[in-house]
Structure 1
Amino acid sequence: MGEPIPALRVRALDDSPPRASGRYVLYWMVAQRRVRHNFALQHAAAWAKRLGKPLLVLEALRIGHRWANDRLHRFVLEGMAVNGRRLEAAGVGYYPYLEPAADQGKGLLAALAADACLVVSDDYPCYFIPRMVAAAARRLQVRFEVVDGNGVIPLQASPDAFTTAHAFRRWLQKQGATHLLQMPLADPLVALPARKARVSAEIGKRWPKLSAKTLADPTRLAAAIAALDIDHDVAPAPMRGGAEAGEAQLRGFLQDRLARYADDRSSLEHDASSGLSPWLHFGHVGAHEVVAAVLAREGWSPDRLGDPKLTRGSREGWWGLSPGAEAFMDELVTWRELGHIYCWHNPDDYMRYGSLPSWARKTLAEHADDPRPSLYSLAELEQALSEDPLDLSSELNLAA
């Protein structure tokens, strides 16, 4: 079937056999929006090779999601431009779709899935994505698999939602080595024969693809975004979206700031942060890619892992890396994946106050009556109306 991925990373939401009459394998890219280091794309490519069918990648951007604005739309669309170029070079069909108005994208996935042998998508634990994907799987009546490419630890491997970072570290240091060595292929399409999937003209007419020219031309892209009914007050950020920009950010971090990370990551004057958050958030860069790059730079091998009986959940010492790399891996793996795992085990209420662990609610309650010279509404904070100079500076930076 091609290069297999760990079984713990795959869930069949519809376990019916692949449709023999299907014309292609469809990968619905919703969270891991990249071509490289992508378990879901690797799994879809393996299915395509096994069935002797072409692979088609659908990447769509809805207009109706919360906080839709120029900044987020442009960042995601710049990622689509990179994905389009890379999939074209690999000979894989790509269907980038920008919803022009609310609900106009409805029916596209179902139409493409009607001609598919099966559908593969991303298993992501947060925001509206789990509900959206589950609803699609119930509706499409075709084999539908989701693949977890969120982090080093498969979500299904976690026994429970850890309420402290220390508890997660202790478990990670005992169980994590096996998962750490199970990396996605850097190029999941390397063994897939170049073969473009054919999409019916009716689909293309009703839901027109976003053209490669529009994606490649900043002026055309800006015009396409300006025509949308979204929040235009939040201007695009100075950084570019997409895997190429994210990979460049990673290279710069490894070269210039990783060695200082342990000491300077929280310093405003000597910033040593990775700056990778937006690319990780939108899936333009994956955690596995970052981990692999750090370990390669450190000349790491598995025999450098510490003894969990000695490290006992400590922040340092288990990875067997330099201080800067140890500190960064704790942020990237411990803290980032702790959040994903918590959402996975608490899918319905992770955003509610009551879902906080008891120790956190106890601490908040103890400080509920602390003196506060000023109380601001959410609207005032959003408009940077605070009188505190540090808070005001932070709010203005967020609003910029």
Structure 2
Amino acid sequence: MKIKILLPIFFAPFVMNAQTKKTATDNRLVTDLDKMVQKEALAYMQNPARVGISIGVIKDGKSYFYNYGTTELGKSELPTSKSLYEIASITKTFTGTLLAHALADGKIKMSDDIRKYLDGNYPNLEFEKHPITIGNLTNHSSGLPQFLPDQSETFKKPMDSVALALSDFYKNYSKKKFYEDLHQAKIDFVPGTEYKYSNTGTQIAGDILEKVYHKSYADLLSEFITKPLNMNQTILGTNSAQLLTCYNETGKVMPRNFTTVFAPAGGIVTNTEDLVKYMQYHLDESNHYVKTSHTPLVKGEGDGIGLYWRIHNYEDGSKTVYHTGGTFGFSSVLQIYPSKNMGVVILSNESDGESQGKLQDIADNLLRNSSKK
């Protein structure tokens, strides 16, 4: 299969950029890394739509944190390493890590027909007698739609109204209704042969984990990831009062994530402090669970997808393992570079058509420039 990868306040001086926009930061501009982050962050914040960003870097076992902008438009409160953001689809890498545990524990096989774990009869979850496997879920080759029910018509509306429409629709959407709608899903290619991004498939993967362990997804996160790594501020759901206000490119406040039912696909709320710990864990590819989650089932042209992790291979033989995330008001990227013993996470409380790509550029540039030192 050829895979196409889509990609307390303490010291807060103000820095003038090319557009005379004042940008608050806690960057003390002492080290070379500080200066590299400053250059990249200020270039990003030049866009008048930007609100705030938090950056975490792990390099050779040492952690560095930087914050820019504000937690809320009209206020001068700088975000911190403890500020909570939605990380959207970066959540999928947590689900992939849990699947690596389930594989090691003999609970599942990547070749398993997903219907083995579903209640009821789903003759629609195959194409030409080829069933959807768990492996197909992890690399988005299942053919399942992005959402249930299919929301393609909703996404044709203006983006402001899309956010509100989806938030309202999924507010009371139950898991029971999800599986009723799954009966209507149509697969139009042999699973494993084409790429089609699917939150639906990741939700099913999370439900399979719950079924084989007889525990909730939240409990599995705690048992296998957040508790062992002391990620004490990483939670599921969007009811935290500390979650930052989020905006679109026009400065309009956006609704919080609607992924109650789709929690394994995008429901985690966390901060750079915890995600630096998560990156440190995933830098250790001698760890069996880490190595498994980073290993692609099918390789593309230089790129691949592991257990939800995206993998990009560079010409020098090194690689980056990453995922981006975006809701209607939050953007994020988390990238680790095992051969460089380095990881970068960037969280933003503003989302637009370019934000995820620009954040990924920052992470790439920090790696490239750090390698020169």
- With normalisation by structure 2, the TM-score equals 0.23
Query: Which has the larger strand fraction?
Result: 2
Query: Which has the larger helix fraction?
Result: 1
Larger Rg: 1
- With normalisation by structure 1, the TM-score equals 0.22
